[in-house]
Structure 1
Amino acid sequence: MNKSLMTEKIIAAKESKGFTWETIASEVGVAPVYLASVCLGMNSIVPEKASVLAAFLGLEDDVTKALSEFPPKIWDQTVATDPLIYRFYEIAGVYGESVRQVVQEEFGDGIMSAIDFKLDIEREEDPKGDRVKIILNGKFLPYKAW
């Protein structure tokens, strides 16, 4: 089974059961954003957790196997038009260079890992309208000289 078909089956099961990513992640024992990424085919998960996930959603063994397979991590390279996803392009365009300079002043010449990485989403109540709080937490990887 390919990752696209796996994702279709997972989304159909999730919707038919009325589960949220939070509910499924709690059952599997991983973070909701990571779980969604696994289910959308951009990450893999260890076989034991894949089995728990598939069983919880009532899916067959081929889904379990596909969940554990390494993904190619290739996505459409055009700028997304979905307004929420597009905002990340906008944020990177407007603030990316500033973030890079501040990170390099604090840590030195290097990058933030997207491999040794966590991403959390929180609701922050605000009288003017609730806010979305996105926390990117990646290991600093200095560039090496040789």
Structure 2
Amino acid sequence: MTEAIITAKTKKKTTWKEISNCIGLSEVFTTSACLGQNTLSKSEAEKLGTFLDLSSEVVNTLQVFPTKGPGQEISTDPLIYRFFEICFVYGPTLKEVIQDKMGDGIMSAIDFTMNVDKVEDPKGDRVVVTMNGKFLPYKKW
């Protein structure tokens, strides 16, 4: 499925942003679904299929509930690895600051949005990743 989508995206010379606009979802969520990490509704998958001229098999596969996450391995892709590195270095700090502000709990990855933006800078363009997750306090019983 993902290979067919990437091939069609390349052939059409389009962007993830243009694809996401076509189906009415965010760029990050749309890309995630196309990479097999999220699912699309029938109408969303059909819009994507029409936009990229995908087979009915690919359109149907986009609607299957995925198994999320690549497993227990740490990616060696330099860009992906940097996100692991950020968590290794700043994870304990993020946990402390979040819990200091919010209490004992976690940030949801289910009730969650993420945006990726480019900010031009004379010293080199910047990547801005904004994650927005609902705070879930631990329940006492």
TM-score normalized by structure 1?
0.93
- For residue 117 of structure 1, the aligned residue among 94, 112, 125 is 112
Aligned counterparts of 1:48 and 1:116: Cα–Cα separation in 2: 22
Match of 1:24 in 2: 19
Could you tell me how far 1:11 is from its partner in structure 2?
A: 0.9
Q: Quote the residue 1:98 is aligned against.
A: 93
1:57 aligned to which of 38, 49, 52: 52
> What's 1:3 paired with?
none
SS for the counterpart of 1:144 is coil
Write the distance in 1 (CA, Å) between the matches of 2:56 and 2:129: 34
Alpha carbon RMSD of aligned pairs, Å? 0.9
Counterpart residue identity of residue 10, structure 1 = I
Q: Does 1:126 find its partner at 2:118?
A: no
* CA drift at 1:76: 3.8
1:107 pairs with one of 102, 127, 132: 102
Aligned equivalents of 1:72, 1:86: Cα separation in 2: 21
Structure 1 residue 28: deviation in Å?
0.9
User: Is there any run of 5+ residues in structure 2 with no aligned partner, and where?
Assistant: none
Of 65-74 and 132-141, more deviation after overlay is shown by 65-74
- The count of corresponding residues between Structure 1 and Structure 2 is 141
1:145 aligns with 2:140: yes
Q: TM-score, normalised by structure 2?
A: 0.96
Letter in 2 for 1:19: T
Any idea what SS the aligned residue of 2:134 has? strand
Gaps of 5+ in 1: 1-5
Percent of aligned pairs with the same residue?
Answer: 50
Deviation at 1:64, TM superposition (A): 1.4
Look up the equivalent residue of 2:131 and give its one-letter code: L
